[in-house]
Structure 1
Amino acid sequence: MNKEYRQLKSLLKLLDREERWFTFAEVESELGVSDKSVRKIVESAVPLLPPSMQIEVSRGKGIMFRRDRHGTSIQEVLEPLLRETPYFRLMQRLFMHDGKTSAEEVAEELYMSFSSFKKWIVQLNRDELRPFQLRITYAAPTLKGNEIHVRYFLWKLFTEAYPYTGWPFSNADYARLDGWVTEIERENGMIYFLNAKRSLTFLIAIVLERIKQGHRVALKSRSYAWERHPFFVPVSKMSEKLAAAYGVVLPREEVYFLQSMFSLSQYHGKDGFPVFGGRALASEQEDDAGSRMSGLLISILENAFPALNASSRFLAEIREFMDKLRIDNAIPELMAVSHSHLTGYIRDKEQPIYAAVSECMRQWQRSFPELMYNDYHLTKLTFMVSASLRYKSKKAFLIIGEEFSVRHYVANLIKREIGDDLTIETSILHGLTDDIIREQQIDFVISTMPVSLTSVPTVLISTIPTKRDLENIRQELMS
């Protein structure tokens, strides 16, 4: 990725952790650059920031970052900068033209010499694309690798570049795709998280374009009962609408692929519980494998964590965790590149729980050796367990675009840090309007993403609240 953008992103993320003076030595160590480079990065960052953000530099003290807790978020500053990088412009061109232009033409459009462009491709293949098991060819540049890996990479790239606003796909209409996702929500009696729903519309547009270009996915379809899963019928109906509207016929395996991504995205029922919490998944009704897997894992976890509150919510979460683990195993290409940006955090902050959960999964796998898991699954399960350990019972409200278990974990973290003065409500709402906020008698909103509200203030926080975020919440309680 563009070096300057990556360094700016690292700097702002670091400085936003706490409202204090960071020494140059701390910043140098975190970014892995020299004192002179840190000063250059700061100088380049200052004119890019909105009025609600300021970076102060003081000899002898270091660097301090000030941000209005009701103002622009870091992500809102970074996303337009990402879209301007040569890296993003190259990937967008590769997606749109798929090898139909020469390397010389691409280099010219990016204002690079042909030799510099070739050296850059070597660097991208080595550093940026290797984790996705992809590479870029030279003569007529195109992304090469497993089709699932290509789609996953493009999906993550576009959703990072346009997380809240904007629509980069000329091949499909956003409102139409969003409406079809809403129909799936209604049919299954569920609600996608705001960012998950938007992300799914991006995925559909990417799938449409890739199929038009002649690319197809290949799944081990017999390893999972796709057609007995609740998402199969509504996704099949949507594929028929795609064919009628865009003239793109989706083969059965393409339907399974979309179905898997709809299943793996973040959603739950209107009451805040997992959508299938009150009943077994269809795949579990047909055979007892899912029930036996879930039951054994719950038993192992209860033995390992005596303080575990195995509530109906937790049991439902484990059933969905197990079903999604089975889907991941049916698409090993996804498991090969999937990861959580919270793995490092959970390993550090909840190390004893993470270690115990890892041992529980090793014990569980001895009974089901055919199913694999990775750090991504251990991270999810650690959040679920930690969020369900018995703390003082408190009510909470939170808007966070992460897994259901992560949201409860963050709510508990805020409770422990803030105390009983704060009541948090975590119910999921269809949309977010001032009328709904007034009906719920909410005084202010805590959110990881910008929301359009005028009746109450919004305190923007990181996925895992930093010391600065917690202090901003305390200040809101006093205002």
Structure 2
Amino acid sequence: MLELLAKKQRRQMRLLETLIREKRWFHLKELAEMLDCTERSLKEDLSNLRTVFDDFLIESSTNGIKISYDDSIGIEVVYHHFFKESVAFSLLEYLFFHKDVSADRICRRYDLSQQSFYRLIRNINQILQEKYNIRITLNPLNVEGDEIDVRFFYSQYFAERYYYLDWPFPDIREQVITDFITFFYKLTDYPLSFSLFHSYRIMLTVYLCRIKQGYRIELANKYGQYAYLYQDLPKINEMLHYFGLQLGVEFTEETIEQLFIIFLQKRFYFSPEDLIAATKEDAVTYKSYNLAKELLERTSQAYGLEVPNFDEMIMHIHNTAHLERREIFAEYLLYDTKSNTNGDYKTLFPKFYQDVEESLYQYLVAMGFHENPENLKHLVYTVFSHWETLLPQLLRRRKAVKVLIISRFDDNHARSMIDFLKFYCTDNFEFSQLIQHDVTISELEKSEYDVIVANFMIPKLKGKDFICTSSLTLLELVEKLNTLFYDFTRQED
């Protein structure tokens, strides 16, 4: 969806992403080549960005260009700005809240000529139709098409466009939505976590707004299958009447189905027990269960791992694959958060990551799902994030890094350093102090140790990682050792 930004906006966003991601000095020529622009354009961009982003310090010196900022500032500041500045995204948000808008009204609001207006609509529709099968209709203007994708697009838009704890729906009281979600969620055994709650309040509010405007997802009615969940609750009719008055909608069985359609769809399960029971009656669920089961068994055995939440992992893989783009952050518009997170997993465990990705791809193909990169990326994230104790298990299976500590002061100093390092470093280090009194450089080079640490220089030492601590604090030494650990273990995985 980057194409919805103007060319200059895309370039400026890529510039900030590059400076923030790399955290180093760039020469103007290097940046200009990366961004395929002139140095003059780049200078204008930097001047503009310095004015717009008070939270970022964009430095210029003989070393080039570098950005610095406080740890409390997140990169989402960048994306919020470009969402706000984009006429295309602003128009789409306006149409979400206003149905049956005239072209003249949009032209006046955004100061557009008729020609510019129709060119903008054509560009938006080309992008939306290609990815979501939705479009802006004319005379009057509305966003229509595949209603599932319309709702997903807007759910993802509001999740990215506004800060996580902001409330972007001025006509709907946040507390009422909170009470409504809490009331209905008690009907399931699924834990309502912080992240799920904030995602669902965005999704359900988007669904509610679309329902109030008369839009429906065309699916076979299923509310009869699920009505038993709430019909016998005490005072259910009074509660539905109360929420209806507060939210401005009549809660019929169809309204409830449309609102909770993400949970009422076939083959979505709230518990592993429900999924396992369904395998006896539904061939697709049976196939999905066994493929996911084989995937987990094969992967865990190949790497000597345990899966403490085995049945839950099968459910998570199954549900994630079946939901596709009905979950917030399953795909992205501008802010690719999942790739950043998956990138960390891939950097730390490249071989394991590749094997998991390949296995999940085969699962998607076998199930006949869309095996596009976004679906696959979301599934990989699900495995890494939902597999209990996976990361510590992967770290512990790695070979320990052997470190020799040498002090020119005395043995007690070396022992005190080891005590400190054992406390602050990971469990994947084995620390020893030098016992031999007449060790030579050749013997150090042939020793079993991966890293030599000393508080004096050993200029001719070869074939070993060497750290001289004469100008380092102990905490800086910890940081360097942990960095070395990741360098060592990436080669093993």
TM-score by length of 2: 0.63
Give the secondary structure class of the aligned counterpart of 1:391.
helix
**Structure 1: distance between partners of 2:310 and 2:229:** 21
CA shift for structure 1 position 174: 0.7
- Encode CA deviations 1:48-69: one digit per residue, 9 max, x unaligned: 222x42011235x332111122
Shifted more, 107-116 versus 163-172: the winner is 163-172
Displacement of 1:378 in angstroms is 2.7
Q: Is the 8 A contact 1:357 1:382 kept in 2?
A: yes
Tell whether 2:39 aligns with 1:35.
Answer: yes
Across the aligned residues of Structure 1 and Structure 2, the Cα RMSD in angstroms comes to 4.4
Alignment of 1:310-329 (within 5 A): 310-328=306-324
Residue aligned with 1:312, SS: coil
Q: Shift in Å at residue 321 of structure 1?
A: 2.0
Contact 1:12 1:74 in 2 (8 A): no
Q: Find the structure with the greater CA-based Rg.
A: 2
1:55 has 2:58 as partner: yes
SS at match of 1:55: strand
Show the counterpart of 1:307: 303
The equivalent residue for 1:86 is 87
**Residue type at the aligned position of 2:68:** R
Q: Is the 8 A contact 1:230 1:281 kept in 2?
A: no
Q: Which residue of 1 aligns with 2:376?
A: 378
Give a deviation string over 1:85-132, Cα, whole Å, max 9, x none. Answer: 323331222112222x32122111111222111111112222355322
Q: Deviations over 1:146-176 (max 9, x none)?
A: 1122111121122222133443323311111
Over 3 Å counting, the alpha-carbon distance change for 1:88 and 1:194 in structure 2 is: farther
Aligned to 1:356: 355
Which of the numbers 17, 20, 23 marks the counterpart of 1:19?
23
1:206 alignment partner in structure 2:
206
Offset, 1:298: 2.6
CA distance in 1, matches of 2:11, 2:276: 47
Q: Which residue of 2 aligns with 1:72?
A: 73
Count of aligned positions: 382
SS at match of 2:272: coil
- Kindly indicate whether the alpha-carbon contact (under 8 Å) linking 1:24 and 1:63 is maintained by their aligned counterparts in 2: yes
Q: What is the match of residue 400 of structure 2?
A: none
> Is this contact kept in 1: 2:107–2:117, CA < 8 A?
yes
Q: Which amino acid aligns with 1:174?
A: E
Contact 1:301 1:357 in 2 (8 A): no
How far apart are residue 474 of structure 1 and its match? Answer: 5.4
Deviation at 1:12, TM superposition (A): 1.9
Deviation (angstroms), 1:227: 3.2
Alignment-mate amino acid for residue 64 of structure 1:
K
Deviation at 1:284, TM superposition (A): 3.4
Task: Give the 3 Å change call, closer, same or farther, for CA 89–304 of structure 1 in structure 2.
Answer: closer
Structure 2 residue corresponding to 1:392, chosen from 392, 395, 415: 395
- What is residue 431 of structure 1 aligned with on the other side? none
Give the SS at the match of 2:104: helix
Distance (whole Å) between structure 1 residues aligned to residue 368 and residue 229 of structure 2 = 24
**How far apart, CA to CA, are the structure 1 residues paired with 2:422 and 2:257?**
46
- Give SS of 1:42's match: helix
What's 2:139 paired with? 139
2: CA distance, partners of 1:155 / 1:78: 16
Offset of 1:325 from its aligned partner?
A: 2.8
Q: Deviations over 1:288-318 (max 9, x none)?
A: 3546633442323433551152322354222
The 5-angstrom pairing of residues 261-340 of structure 1 reads 261=262, 280-288=272-280, 289=282, 290=285, 293-304=288-299, 306-307=302-303, 309-328=305-324, 334=326, 339=331
Match of 2:154 in 1: 154
**Residue 57 of structure 2 aligns to a residue in which SS?**
strand
1:325-376 CA-partner distances (Å, limit 9, x unpaired): 3444xxxx859x953643598587576545534543465568x646665434
State the alpha-carbon separation in 1 of the partners of residues 82 and 26 from structure 2. Answer: 24
- Tell me the equivalent position of 2:249: 248
CA distance in 2: counterparts of 1:375 and 1:168, whole angstroms: 30
| Counterpart amino acid of residue 138 in structure 2 | Y
Shift of 1:189: 5.4
Distance 1:39 1:53 in 2: 16
Whole-angstrom CA distance in 1 between matches of 2:227 and 2:369? 20
Stretches of structure 1 that go unaligned for 5 or more consecutive residues are 265-274, 395-417, 425-470
Q: Partner letter of residue 300 of structure 1?
A: L
Cα 1:257–1:287, aligned 2, differ >3 Å: closer, same or farther?
A: farther
| Distance in structure 2 (CA, Å) of the matches to 1:98 and 1:165 | 27
In structure 2, stretches of 5+ residues that fail to align are 398-420, 428-475, 483-493
Identity of aligned residues (%): 22
Relative to 1, partners in 2 of residues 1:54 and 1:320: Cα closer, same or farther, differing over 3 Å?
same
Contact 1:24 1:38 in 2 (8 A): yes
Question: How far has the Cα of 1:138 moved from its partner?
Answer: 3.4
- Which residue of structure 2 aligns with residue 218 of structure 1? 218
Q: Judge which range, 197-206 or 140-149, deviates more.
A: 197-206
